[in-house]
Structure 1
């Protein structure tokens, strides 16, 4: 297939993921922790090492700012924490932040998002998938544009981007170049080309695989619950990341 003109953003949790993003030619990474929970704000040390892994010529580091799992309606303390995390991320050298907040009615919390935007200064600000749980993601674009945000990360209001593909097309038309539309959620090698054909500006994907941990200690004693660390953890899979790139002919 012919190569397409689209940016790639890889969601990663550690410096190893940043190095894979660099290999695959991603324009950006979204740096987070706990992607299994939808992503939370990473630690300052994680950001520091991610920036080192990216180096001068690697992908931009954009930090997810999300104080907790469980929805996007935050109280005053949580917004204050998120504002401080934005400031710390930008001061540390992040190129951008990924933010979002909803009000009690489930609409975009204009005042909270404005505070987070202002805390970012000149850094790029992306509205994350909080837009997908608003009543009308296409209409919510107007608020994001009014706030002066750089881009939105969206699945078109569906559980996966490929399921929301028609809404993604509508969002591209509604944006009309005023804000970037980045498709994300469940993006893989089988869906990448179809999503790119909607004319979104970027594809966001995690290329994750699960590392299974059996919970046995050095003496062969099995720990008793998930809280003890039994189960596994997710890492960025190099082959899966390259499969997405190859599917796009990049």
Structure 2
């Protein structure tokens, strides 16, 4: 491969971050409250992790379970606070009640990011029309990645969609990197790599003992080795 695949690992605290970096993670997604599928962590958590590791950090901007923006003004304020603390990469994505992108909320939050790079997360997997969503947000400043399983039900169900979207790379709405996550297993990796997908996101797979236990460097290292061998 011409460049090594990106491995992103979910981190809840500095202990997770250190283990993920030791195992070969390139980037961390910072969240709290995985019972709600990952919400914005406290700014103090971000600063502790930033002090602990030197790899890229993407901070979740999400106030409640689900994909509604809830309070866009509060989200914008949280984004400002994190920017002030030095955060320079983010994760976000909001849908309305009809499963369409909540463009007003996304634009309001992105407006606080000063052009920072960000990921549109798995809200795309719950959208009424993936293609329409991609085209609506394609020109927002800083958007460089989609975190997606190809389906709300995970990679097993979404594999065909992921492969099809990888084949459209470079078309309008498809310039961004595909970051595969959500029920991702090691046995999915060869087919995804062969399709040109070069970014992978793991959460539970980095925690063999479960979410109540920290990230294990050895578990991350196994993924790093498989990606590098591909």
Q: TM-score w.r.t. structure 2 length?
A: 0.88
CA contact (8 A) 1:9 1:27 kept: yes
1:68 aligns with 2:68: no
- 1:52 match: secondary structure: helix
Query: Per-residue deviation at 1:52?
Result: 0.6
Query: Which one has more relative contact order, counting CA pairs under 8 Å at least 6 apart?
Result: 2
Consecutive aligned runs of 4 or more in structure 1 exceeding 3 Å deviation: 2-5
* Equivalent in 213, 223, 240 of residue 219 of structure 2: 240
Q: Residues 87-113 of structure 1, C-alpha deviation per residue, up to 9 Å, x if partnerless?
A: 111221123110111112110111111
- 1:72 match: secondary structure: coil
Question: Which segments of 5 or more consecutive residues in structure 1 lack a partner in the other structure?
Answer: 212-231
Query: 1:227 corresponds to which residue?
Result: none
Q: Which has the larger radius of gyration?
A: 1
Query: 1:174 corresponds to which residue?
Result: 168
Query: 2:17 corresponds to which residue?
Result: 18
Quote the Cα distance in structure 2 between the aligned partners of 1:188 and 1:239.
Answer: 16
Quote the Cα distance in structure 1 between the aligned partners of 2:122 and 2:184.
Answer: 14
Query: 2:180 corresponds to which residue?
Result: 183
Question: Which segments of 5 or more consecutive residues in structure 2 lack a partner in the other structure?
Answer: none
Quote the Cα distance in structure 2 between the aligned partners of 1:8 and 1:152.
Answer: 14
CA contact (8 A) 2:4 2:228 kept: no
* Equivalent in 138, 142, 148 of residue 154 of structure 1: 148
- 1:8 match: secondary structure: strand
Aligned residues: CA RMSD: 2.1
Q: Residues 195-234 of structure 1, C-alpha deviation per residue, up to 9 Å, x if partnerless?
A: 32332231111112446xxxxxxxxxxxxxxxxxxxx724
Larger mean Cα displacement after TM superposition, 188-197 or 5-14: 188-197
Alignment of 1:22-171 (within 5 A): 22-54=21-53, 58-69=54-65, 71-75=66-70, 78-148=71-141, 149-171=143-165
Quote the Cα distance in structure 2 between the aligned partners of 1:247 and 1:64.
Answer: 27
Quote the Cα distance in structure 2 between the aligned partners of 1:48 and 1:110.
Answer: 29
How many residues are aligned here?
A: 223
